[in-house]
Chains A and B, each alone.
Chain A
Amino acid sequence: MIRRLWFGWILSVVLCLCAAAVAAAGGASADTAGWSGDEVPRYRVRDPERVTAREMNLREIMARATEGERTKLAGHRDMTFNATLRSILTWKKKKEVRDEVYLVYQDADGVDKRVRLAEKVTRYRRDGKTWVPKKDDAGEDDDEEARRGSVQVEVNEEGRGADLSRLPFFLENQEDYDFTLLERTLEGDHVIFKIAFHPRSPWKPLPSGTVYVDTDVFRVIHEEFTFLENPAPVFLKDIERVSRHWTKLPSGEWVTSEILARLHPNGTFGLLPEQVDVVLTLNDYRFDRGYDARKFGPRE
């Protein structure tokens, strides 16, 4: 009787040790389906997840980015947003800060209307190393020269089709550029492609640049451009850089938030400024609100 008890106890211990050893060796998930507290759980080692690999080439990336950009606002009929343009024009001894405010409407039919609402110009003169507001002949400050009398409604001359599915120029005219995949980085669970491009013809004054593509939705999320060939030698020394910033709205759309640029005009005889810095800030995007004739005037 005692032997049977000992044998049963030893058998139980050995079985438990074996089960523990199997579990430890597997280190994998336990299949506990149907397991009750009175039964010994069954453990099994799962096969690792196998993923077949195929190199995604640059052509595929560009094709997907093109499709991603083309459909970036798919499902939306129209959008309205504010645009604020600030430019700083710097001469040797004077400086001008200009602010302009626009309200913009664009829709899937290609209607593109911009209402120019306000403009403010603030002028400065150089006093040693500092800039001081310029005074007019009457001794009054010449800053805060805000004008709202020139409301303009501009219609994009591109005509129909300049719509919500418009592509960035380097995707629209891919044949004119050579692309190079510079880097793939993992940010969280997103892979970001860093892609450089430059004009195929070294003789054309087209921009070169670097763009970042988020492969989550294959959208362009950041763009930086420069010009190796001066695009307007008569008026410009160079365009130092241009960049476009994107942001994702809480509702999921990727939209342009800022466009920044710095250029150096050909400042012969002091007529043109030596440097121009520009930032266009776009915000307050609203989708599918319809055309508001009260704010934009007649649609046609």
Chain B
Amino acid sequence: MARSGHRFGRVVMLGTAIAALGCGTAAEGAPGAAPADSTAPVAPAPADSAAVRPFLERLQDADRSLYPDELLETDATLRDSALAALDSLGLSGYRHRYRGPAVEASLTVASSLITYNRVEALVAGLGGDLEARGGAHLNVQAAYATGPRKLRHLERLEVPVRQVVLEAGYADRVVAYGSNSPAANGLRALIGSADEKDYLRRLGARAGFRIEARRGGRIGAAYEAAKDRSVGVHTDFAFLGDSRLMAVNRPVDEGMTRSVVLEAAWGRLGDDRLQVNLRHRVAGGGLGGDFDFVRTDFRGSLRRYLPGNHEAVWDLVVARAGGKPPVQALADAGGLSTVRGFDRRTRVGRTAVAARMELFPAFDPLGAAVPALRKLRIQFVPWADAGRVWDGNSDAWITSAGIGAQRYIAPLENAAYLRLDAAFPLGPDRPETVRFMLRFTRALF
């Protein structure tokens, strides 16, 4: 019996080894499975790591040998004393003993307000954070807008309660409206007079909640009450470019909007290769305010590899405004974020659809043609856009195609590459000019 058991063990081990080496058994080559014609029961291989330990030690020793000994000498005294102190005192006692703060305060820059644009000129200031042990977080920012010479401010409170984050905020600042939202727009405006947004001044408050989940998943709801006002242009300064592009900021319908906003998002284009955002706003009616309307926005992006490791990215933007929306709540098409060969908000209506496709070839034509230029790491990206609106200033499709040359600069989600696009407008209503745009583009990783 003992001999029979020994043989069984050898057969199992042999089966495991053969299956793992790629000569799987008929039973799908399962590791640890006995041969298919064996009457022996299928059982897992003995879990014995002794066999791989010398192998692992060789790999690990070879790896460690590349580092100085000083790095590998962990300070066990520091670790042991800290852990012993935590053991005896507990976290609260440890904090008390070492004067850990119940509330941490910090001074920062006013990161949400700092910008440069044609209506505010340079906006700069400071912010402060108060963070309590439980995770409640108060952020206050104040900044001075050098164009209109006004103070802008923003206050934001977040209180996490289990998986729900309660949030409330109050702000007086200039915000952009419309579909166009190029990354680092302030930098583009300052350097190249390429301010590609339209602005209004918004004073208002917001209260709501959000639930954040893995993989960029998020749902939330909020009540918002805000008063919108038109703002004029205060500067056309830029280091380069044509200052006439900075000369106009269209007026908006002024008034109070009281609304409920529902938001949902899922996925990250880098990790999940799919990203969707949905927002629905109901304004007016029983909520009050000067405007009665609903607006729904959908934005989706998808990336996939094609044969040859080329990569394609598709974007779809859909917006629908119902009721009696103010002009700033109408849907639009045209501009860097939708149809690149046309100016921003070329088409404005109640419904807008825009679709884009970009192809990221896996090869380097510049480096292949001129090997000395391979180090520049310039990637060429052909693309095409199309869009239109319904119940607006035109029912015709607008389309454009072009090519971009981009170079990787930093691991930033929305500004990973610096790209120069040449956009060729297509169709009967096209402008006669080819547009060149220098901008930052998103990461696809």
Contacts and interface: CB of A to CB of B under 8 A. Distances in A.
B24 A118 contact: no
Which of A110, A115, A215 is packed against the most chain B CB atoms within 10 Å?
A215
Contact of B100 (A120, A151, A214, A222): A151
Interface in B256-302: 271, 273
B52 interface: yes
B11 interface: yes
B86 interface: yes
A159 B163 CA distance: 9
A294 B48 contact: no
A5 interface: no
A184 B22 contact: yes
A203 B64 CA distance: 30
B305 interface: yes
A191 B20 contact: yes
A51 B408 contact: no
Given A49-B11, A201-B360, A229-B408, A160 B63 contact: no
Given A155-B135, A190-B52, A216-B45, A224 B63 contact: yes
B400 interface: no
Contacts of B24: 53-56
Contact of B47 (A148, A151, A159, A252): A252
Contacts of B23: 51, 53-56
Given A49-B35, A190-B52, A101 B47 contact: no
A233 B437 CA distance: 23
Contact of B64 (A160, A260, A296): A260
B83 A294 contact: no
Nearest to A257: B60
Interface string B119-157: 000000000000001110000000000000000000000
A161 B151 CA distance: 42
A99 interface: yes
Nearest to A95: B70
B36 interface: yes
Contact of B45 (A189, A222, A258): A189
Interface in B45-73: 45, 47-56, 59-60, 63-64, 66-68, 70-73
Q: How large is the interface on A (under 10, 10 to 19, 20 to 34, 35 or more residues)?
A: 35 or more
B67 A202 contact: no
Interface stretch (A11-19, A133-141, A170-178): A170-178
A179 interface: no
A103 B86 contact: yes
A232 B160 CA distance: 33
Given A52-B26, A201-B360, A151 B94 contact: yes
Nearest to A119: B78
A216 B47 contact: yes
A221 B70 CA distance: 25
Contacts of A232: 410-411
Contact of A260 (B63, B98, B213, B309): B63
Given A53-B24, A88-B70, A115-B86, 18 more contacts: A56-B20, A86-B73, A99-B78, A101-B82, A117-B83, A150-B100, A161-B215, A175-B305, A176-B445, A191-B20, A192-B52, A200-B362, A203-B377, A218-B31, A241-B66, A277-B67, A294-B90, A298-B134
Interface of A: 49-57, 60, 64, 82, 84, 86, 88, 97, 99, 101, 103, 110, 115, 117-118, 120, 146, 148-151, 153, 155, 158-162, 172-173, 175-176, 178, 184-193, 199-206, 212, 214-218, 221-222, 224, 229, 231-234, 241, 243, 245-248, 252, 258, 260, 262, 277-279, 281, 294-298, 300
